């Protein structure tokens, strides 16, 4: 049995320490004392259900290799469109966690605290409502003209079904666009 305990390290253990310890214990085989499991649970609960709020949300459109930062509305839209989603959580450092002194205010059905939202069964001894997370502001995404090339390819194929005049006009336009994309990417890529 592995005795690699996250708590033997300096400072408060974090989720990754605990997961590593759990993985090591599973690899070593044998049984793990209930006390150890309780310790793992405690760490994961404290770290995951404390002041965790996403500070950055990103979506990746189907078929696109690019993760784009979105706000909450964009996130819900992307969810509906079944895009890939990911969120960045920055959990507070141990010293940033405030020690509360207030009692919890239980909901009428006693399931959770109405101030800090702690579940009744898992609540910390004192009420400690989370601070608003500091959001990472949306930044302009870098633009790469090469992203439009697949659309040009598709347009070119679609143009084969058009009349001669229309086809020639658009083929000239597409060729012109391809040249400027080529020049631009040559200039910007050393």
Residues near Zn ion (CB under 5 A): 104, 113, 115-116, 127
> Minimum Å distance from CB 16 to Zn ion?
27
Least distance from C-beta 67 to Zn ion, angstroms? 35
Q: Cα(46)–Cα(13) distance, rounded to whole angstroms?
A: 10
Per-residue CA distances from 150 to 61, 63, 175 (Å): 15, 11, 14
Closest CB 128 distance from Zn ion, rounded Å: 7
Which one, 52 or 171, has the nearer CB to Zn ion?
52
Q: Give Cα 8 to chain centroid, integer Å.
A: 30
CA–CA separation, 7 vs 39, rounded Å? 8
What is the largest distance, in Å, between two alpha-carbon atoms of the chain?
A: 80
Of 11 and 125, the one with the shorter C-beta distance to Zn ion is 125
Q: How far is the CB of 118 from Zn ion (least distance, A)?
A: 5
Residue 122 or 169: the one with the smaller Cβ distance to Zn ion is: 122
Of 32 and 123, nearer to Zn ion (C-beta) is: 123
Tokens 């090469």 map to which residue? 146
Cα dist from 22 to 6, 13, 94, 132, whole Å: 10, 13, 21, 32
Closer CB to Zn ion, 100 or 145, in the complex: 100
Alpha helices in the chain (DSSP H): 15-28, 34-48, 72-80, 149-159, 164-188
- Nearest C-alpha neighbor of 21 from the set 42, 1, 45, 2: 2
**CB 99 to Zn ion: min, Å:** 13
Report in angstroms how near the CB of residue 142 gets to Zn ion at its nearest.
43
Q: Closer CB to Zn ion, residue 25 or residue 116?
A: 116
């Amino acid at each position: 049995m592995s005795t690699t305990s996250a708590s033997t390290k300096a400072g408060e253990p974090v989720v990754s320490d605990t997961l590593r310890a759990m993985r090591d214990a599973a690899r070593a085989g044998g049984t793990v004392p209930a006390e150890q499991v309780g310790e793992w649970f405690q760490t994961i609960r404290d770290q995951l259900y404390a002041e965790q709020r996403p500070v950055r949300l990103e979506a990746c459109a189907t078929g696109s290799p690019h993760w784009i930062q979105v706000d909450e509305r964009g996130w819900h839209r992307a969810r509906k469109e079944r895009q890939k989603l990911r969120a960045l959580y920055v959990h507070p450092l141990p010293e940033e966690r405030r020690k509360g002194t207030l009692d919890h205010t239980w909901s009428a059905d006693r399931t959770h605290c109405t101030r800090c939202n702690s579940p009744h069964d898992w609540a910390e001894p004192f009420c400690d409502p989370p601070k608003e997370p500091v959001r990472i502001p949306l930044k302009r995404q870098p633009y790469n003209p090469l992203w439009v090339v697949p659309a040009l390819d598709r347009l070119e194929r679609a143009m084969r079904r058009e009349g001669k005049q229309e086809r020639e006009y658009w083929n000239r336009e597409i060729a012109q666009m391809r040249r400027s994309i080529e020049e631009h990417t040559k200039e910007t890529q050393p």
